[in-house]
Each structure stands twice: as C-alpha cells, then as structure tokens.
Chain A
Amino acid sequence: MNAPAYNFAYLDEQTKRMIRRAILKAIAIPGYQVPFASREMPMPYGWGTGGVQVTAAILGPTDVLKVIDQGSDDTTNAISIRKFFAKTAGVATTTATDDATVIQTRHRIPETALNESQVLVYQVPIPEPLRFLEPRETETRRMHALAEYGLMHVKLYEDIARFGHIATAYAYPVKVNARYVMDPSPTPKFDNPKMDNCPAPQLFGAGREKRIYAIPPYTKVVSLDFEDHPFEPYRFNAPCALCGAEDSYLDEIVTDDKGSRMFVCSDTDYCEGRQAAGHHGSLSAAPYKEKAHG
C-alpha cells in the first residue's frame, strides 16, 4: 500500500508555490479575488480549507500560530485546525493575540489591535459579495471588471425601503482601496471598522470556491452605506458579564429555559486577559482552563 508521507505544513511545495503566487497578486490588487487551484484538504470544504491552505503557504518554523472560531480559541474546529498545524508543521501555538504572528480566524477579528508583525488569515465560505444577488460567476466577474456595483446598492436600498435599515448584520460588504467591493467573510459588522487601515496584512482564503484575496496593511476599507443611512456597527448594549468590557463583541448565552440571558465577550483571549488584569463583570468566575494546546 502507498503509505502516506506528508510535507512540512502538509501541502507539497508545488502547491505552496501556486498559493504563494496567488497571495502576492492578491496583495498587489487589494480586494480582487484571485482564482487558485485549491487542493483537497484532509478536512471538509466549508470548514476552513481556504484559510488552512493560506496559512500552510505562509507558515514558517518560527511562527506562533493562533486559531480562533467565533472569537474563541476553544471551539472544536479551532482546536482541530490548531492541532493540524502543530502536528504537520511543528509550530508553536498560542491563544494570546499579542503573542501570535499568524492568526487564522473564522467569523471574528480579535478585539486586541493587531500589529505590523502579524498576519490575519480569514476562512471564507462564499468570497463573492455579489453572489446572492447574481449567482453566475461569469456575470459577477464582469461586474467587478467594470466596477459596476449598482446591484449591491439597490439591494441595500431595498432593505431600507422594507425595514428602515440596511438588513445585513454579518458579511457586511466593504469597498477596498476605493475599487473592489469585497466580502469580509461572515464576521459580524461590528468587526468591519477593524479592517480599515489595519497595520497587519489580511489574507482571505476560500477553498471550495477556489479564491484568495487580500487587504494590504494600511489600506482604506469602507463599509458600504448611504449618506442618510450611514453604516452602524452593532453591539448588544451591556458590559461583558465576566470582564465588564464595554467595547467588545458579545455572545448571548441562554442560561435557563425561562428566558434568562447573559452576555459575555466572544473573544475569549481578550476576556481572560481583562479578567487576569483585575477587571470583573457581574458574573465573574475563573473559567476552566484547558491544560495543553496541541
């Protein structure tokens, strides 16, 4: 039998070269989706195969990797991906945003401001911001080519007509460097402002849809809106029940079957850091800390 033997960071070198070339073009053309020959990864499509391929192509032995899903290092898929790289690349991993050089994320941008020595890698399910308005790739590609984004504005405007607001709460479209309309991945729109003028490069990988795109550091990223209906980030108006933070995005936790709710930071590292620094919320308790991270 052909016994499998795998390369550093799993991908073979030819694949890494192909992905690296795509990343360079993505950085050179901010917000443009570069097609790449996404490989079949040993994890399901839709579960981060794009992000994993980007991370595998950039990761080196001195990197320190953090993986989050929904803001948390301890969700099962984040653990699974972190273990994958610890095993295939032998890299150090961390849960501390400050200590990480490469952060792979699904659905959140860390609360802690990123710095120039870091790279943020997003897992993207549907990279095409126009896809739900026009399912055909041939059409959406033409729209991007002509910067013809009227359809998107019509959609947002119809929301306003129907609901009085732009009814997009996550994956809220942005315009990058005043040219390409881009899908930020299904992050809550709370995170959109963090993308603007960010010191760290932001790389986006969509494995199933075979696209890579990027925002270079210090690049203008604007959430689409209208003058009379400006973009508004959403945050539940409460302090975190554990650390008291009033500036972080909150998860809603259902605590019983009588309608009780509590709200805690979705970014677990941020929340734990604040608690360690002595901040408290109304329901503080030391969370059980898992011993080893793969």
Chain B
Amino acid sequence: MTTIAELPPGFADKVLSAQSTFRSVMDAMARPGSVQRIVPGAGTPDTMMRGTAAIALTLFDHDTPLWLDSRMAESPDLVKWLKFHTGAPVMQDSSIASFALIGDGAALPPLERFALGTSEYPDRSTTVILQVESLEAGRPFELRGPGIDGATTLQASIKPFDLFERLHLNEALFPRGIDVVLVADDAVVAIPRTTRVVSKGS
C-alpha cells in the first residue's frame, strides 16, 4: 500500500493546468472527432493515462459521483489517488454516476446502466471516459452532427469494437443520452450524444 505522501502528485499548477485541460476537453466536445491534446501537468496513478488523470483533476470533486470499472477499481493506489486529489465519491451504482472511468473497454457495461438523464433534465447523465489504444491509427469512422463542418473522419483503435453501434442509443433517446470522452495517452476525442457515426469499414 502506498501512503498519501507517496501518491503521484496532482497538478503542479492547479489553476492553470485545470484551465488548459478544460479548454482541450471543451474543444473536443465542441468539435466531435477532433483530436485535442492535453498538456500533462500531473502524476498518473497506475493504469490511468495522462489525459484521464488531467480530466479527473479538472472536472471531479465532492459533487461528482464516480463509477470505476473493475480495471480502475482494482488498483487501490488509483482509487486512493482519486479520493485524495478530487474528493469525488466512488459509487457502486453506475446509474447515479456523473462520470464513469473505463480502463478496460472490452468490459464496458451496457450503456443503459449509466445515468441517461431525464427528459426534463437531460444533463443529469453520466459522462463516460473511456481509455482506448489509439486516436490516431485504426479503423476510420465517419462522424456527423453539431460541431462538425459536414463530416469528419476519426481514425481510432477502440474497445469495445462495437462502441459506435452501442451509441446508436443516443439517437433514439435524444435529448437524453451518454456523452463519451475517449482518451489515448494525452490525446482526447469527445463523442457527445449528438454525434452520428458511420463506420467506414475495418
């Protein structure tokens, strides 16, 4: 077990690193499919990627219940790091989580198990942060929707392989739905619930 003093550090500059990380995530959300970079400014616990750690430090706090998949939850240091640096409560029940951290995409639970928001308050939904292998190489996906000038192509290596098929639920549920943030090391891509995806083959 690691003591708190031995945990990887949080942001060296809490204010400015959080601001710069937020702008990257905001740009990602505003321009679905575009690859945004996060300037790493914090330590990373165990299997957590640099981008994920920065997002956690930027957006999580006492008011954001978290759900961790078993890959994330199995690391006591990672859980301790989250608790110490963000104070966010870790929940067993994914349906009340503000954020879900997914380390093992292959084992991503059905999206219906997360908070989907209500028709009156569609914002009360889980943002799923999914660590993936690559956001530069892999299968091409054609994306359309708000934030995209016509269409854009994302090349990515993502598990689960059928992520975008699963995200079809956003189409039926809108304005309820799930917003996804994909992280590969320091690269971030957002797929908000408005984005429609056509796989362009393998």
**Complex: A218 Cα to B147 Cα, angstroms:** 5
**Complex: A242 Cα to B157 Cα, angstroms:** 57
Stretch in contact with the other chain, from B74-82, B115-123, B130-138: B115-123
Task: Report the minimal beta-carbon distance from A53 to chain B, rounded to whole angstroms.
Answer: 14
**Complex: A60 Cα to B23 Cα, angstroms:** 9
List residues of chain A with CB within 8 A of the CB of B14.
Answer: 13
Q: Is residue A34 contacting chain B, with contact meaning CB distance below 8 A?
A: yes
Q: Is residue A201 contacting chain B, with contact meaning CB distance below 8 A?
A: yes
Select which of B26, B30, B192 is within 8 A of A20 by beta carbon.
Answer: B26
List residues of chain A with CB within 8 A of the CB of B22.
Answer: 16, 20, 57-58
List residues of chain A with CB within 8 A of the CB of B64.
Answer: 21
Stretch in contact with the other chain, from A74-82, A104-112, A141-149: A141-149
Q: Is residue B6 contacting chain A, with contact meaning CB distance below 8 A?
A: no
User: Do A29 and B123 touch (CB < 8 A)?
Assistant: yes
Q: Is residue B174 contacting chain A, with contact meaning CB distance below 8 A?
A: yes
Task: Report the minimal beta-carbon distance from B190 to chain A, rounded to whole angstroms.
Answer: 8
**Complex: A141 Cα to B121 Cα, angstroms:** 8
User: Do A32 and B123 touch (CB < 8 A)?
Assistant: yes
Contact A8-B146, Cβ < 8 Å, known A28-B192, A58-B23: no
Contact A24-B119, Cβ < 8 Å, known A177-B194, A218-B146, A218-B149: no
Q: Is residue A121 contacting chain B, with contact meaning CB distance below 8 A?
A: no
Q: Is residue A255 contacting chain B, with contact meaning CB distance below 8 A?
A: no
**Complex: A179 Cα to B59 Cα, angstroms:** 28
Select which of A58, A60, A142 is within 8 A of B120 by beta carbon.
Answer: A142
Task: Report the minimal beta-carbon distance from B174 to chain A, rounded to whole angstroms.
Answer: 7
**Smallest CB-CB separation from A61: which chain B residue?**
B16
List residues of chain A with CB within 8 A of the CB of B122.
Answer: 29, 32
Select which of A18, A179, A201 is within 8 A of B63 by beta carbon.
Answer: A18
Interface size classification for chain A: 35 or more
**Complex: A57 Cα to B60 Cα, angstroms:** 15
Task: Report the minimal beta-carbon distance from B152 to chain A, rounded to whole angstroms.
Answer: 10
User: Do B30 and A29 touch (CB < 8 A)?
Assistant: no
Q: Is residue A7 contacting chain B, with contact meaning CB distance below 8 A?
A: yes
**Smallest CB-CB separation from A220: which chain B residue?**
B146
User: Do A8 and B123 touch (CB < 8 A)?
Assistant: no
**Complex: A215 Cα to B146 Cα, angstroms:** 8
List residues of chain B with CB within 8 A of the CB of A144.
Answer: 120
List residues of chain B with CB within 8 A of the CB of A30.
Answer: 146, 194
**DSSP majority for the B interface?**
loop
**Complex: A108 Cα to B147 Cα, angstroms:** 22
User: Do A177 and B146 touch (CB < 8 A)?
Assistant: yes
User: Do A16 and B123 touch (CB < 8 A)?
Assistant: no
Task: Report the minimal beta-carbon distance from B52 to chain A, rounded to whole angstroms.
Answer: 15
Q: Is residue A182 contacting chain B, with contact meaning CB distance below 8 A?
A: no
Q: Is residue A229 contacting chain B, with contact meaning CB distance below 8 A?
A: no
Task: Report the minimal beta-carbon distance from B41 to chain A, rounded to whole angstroms.
Answer: 13
**Smallest CB-CB separation from A101: which chain B residue?**
B23
User: Do B120 and A141 touch (CB < 8 A)?
Assistant: yes
Task: Report the minimal beta-carbon distance from B105 to chain A, rounded to whole angstroms.
Answer: 20
Q: Is residue A271 contacting chain B, with contact meaning CB distance below 8 A?
A: no
User: Do B31 and A217 touch (CB < 8 A)?
Assistant: yes
**Smallest CB-CB separation from B60: which chain A residue?**
A17
Within 8 A of A (CB), among B10-26: 14-16, 18-20, 22-23, 25-26
**Smallest CB-CB separation from A28: which chain B residue?**
B192
User: Do B127 and A179 touch (CB < 8 A)?
Assistant: no
Q: 1/0 per residue B78-115: CB within 8 Å of A? A: 00000000000000000000100000000000000000
7 shortest interchain CB distances as A-B pairs: A145-B119, A28-B192, A216-B147, A25-B123, A219-B146, A216-B146, A201-B30
Binding site for B on A (CB under 8 A): 7-8, 13-14, 16-18, 20-30, 32, 34-35, 57-61, 141-142, 144-146, 177, 179-180, 199, 201, 215-220
Given contacts A61-B16, A201-B30, 19 further A-B contacts (CB under 8 A): A13-B15, A17-B18, A20-B26, A25-B179, A27-B26, A27-B192, A28-B193, A28-B194, A29-B193, A30-B146, A32-B122, A34-B123, A58-B23, A60-B16, A145-B120, A199-B149, A216-B29, A216-B30, A218-B148
12 interchain pairs, CB-CB under 8 A: A8-B15, A8-B16, A16-B19, A17-B59, A17-B60, A20-B58, A25-B123, A25-B125, A58-B23, A60-B23, A145-B118, A177-B146
